[in-house]
Amino acid sequence: MKKLIFVTLAIIVLSACAAPVAPTQAPVVESAPATATGTTLYISATMHIETKFDSWPADKEAFLSFLQQTTDAGIRWSIGGDIGWLESAEDAQEIVQRSAAMGVQWDNHAHNPDDFGKIAYILNSWGVTPTNVVSGFLIQNFDSLQVSYSYQGTSWSPQVIWGGVVCAGHKPGCDDSSISLYRPTSSLQFELHNPNGQFIKLGGGSHQLADAESLAAQIANGQHPYPVIGYTIMVEPETYRIATSATDDINAILAFVERMNQYPFVRWETIQDTANAWVSAGGVPFQISE
């Protein structure tokens, strides 16, 4: 399977669940799948609007049109806006409010965890309730993750970690490209499942369209029959293309949606809703290696 990249796809198996993995065991891997009679693949999509000016949407109307077209096609968006963009971009409030009216969810994306509360405060002040997703995360900060963050009377509680990295800057070898759902134990034992853990970790894969299709084909062939599997595609907000791809634009994305809809087990959901479905299906932990 090719190395995955940036759009979130999630897969849910609506069926019987295997017993939870013991705290001393690593997450269940594909060689020991949970018992299941069917699989539903939940696919989510994300993008990060960073503090850097060159990552901001250059054309507000074009950006919102892209979101509307892809939403109309069935994609469910989970977007993370960094604090610098939220505070400084003159069109940030309008983009957030108009996209939320389309059904776009806004996650909490911050390079400094101290900004979690402030981001939640800004979004709430605009009438948009943030999800409980930490969108983008340095694994070394896991142990210091708090159960609640507050800013000027607004409290926000993380529940889901998406996009874990071992080093900043998305340099080679930094990004976690696994397809996984489990509850991490600690920063040093991040891949060790703790059934009593506070936070859910969703590994969105490589975020590439081709890797998502490869995963769906494997599921169709009877592989990975877990109750819930998540995958995320990621788009660059300044180019409207799949992250790191020079060719996968809106036309490629819309064609991808049509192909994926041929699978009866495919559904389109957000990162938060994927994690919620995983819990509802029994919270069976797993990691699918590349």
- The residue range of the domain holding 235 is 8-288
Judging by DSSP bridges, how do beta strands 41-49 and 77-81 pair with one another?
parallel
Whether 3 is covered by a domain: the verdict is: no
Share of the chain above pLDDT 90, in %: 73
Q: What is the pLDDT of residues 264-276, one digit of tens each?
A: 899 999 999 999 9
Q: Place 170 in a pLDDT band, splitting at 50, 70 and 90.
A: low
Number of domains forming the structure of the chain: 1
pLDDT-based confidence at residue 136 (cuts at 50, 70, 90)? confident
- pLDDT above 70 for 64: yes
Tell whether the torsion through CA atoms of 21, 24, 26 and 30 is positive or negative: negative
- Of 84, 68, 160, 162, the closest CA to residue 122 belongs to 84
Distance CA 45, CA 23 (A): 31
pTM to 2 decimal places: 0.86
In a domain, 1, yes or no: no
Q: What is the pLDDT of residues 139-168, one digit of tens each?
A: 999 999 999 999 999 999 999 999 888 777
Spatial contact of 269 and 158, defined as CB atoms under 8 Å apart: no
What pLDDT does residue 171 have? 66
285 neighbors 191 (Cβ within 8 angstroms): no
Q: How many CB atoms lie within 10 A of CB 155?
A: 12
* Amino acid type, 157: S
Average pLDDT, whole number, for the chain?
Answer: 87
Let me know if residue 178 belongs to a domain.
Answer: yes
- The CATH number of residue 241's host domain is 3.20.20
Q: Is residue 2 part of a domain?
A: no
Residue type present at position 277? A
Q: How many CA atoms lie within 13 A of 59 on its CB side?
A: 8
Asked if residue 172 belongs to a domain, the reply is yes
Among candidate residues 237, 243, 242, the one with its CA nearest the CA of residue 56: 237
- Are 260 and 213 within 8 A, CB to CB? yes
* pLDDT score, position 163: 82
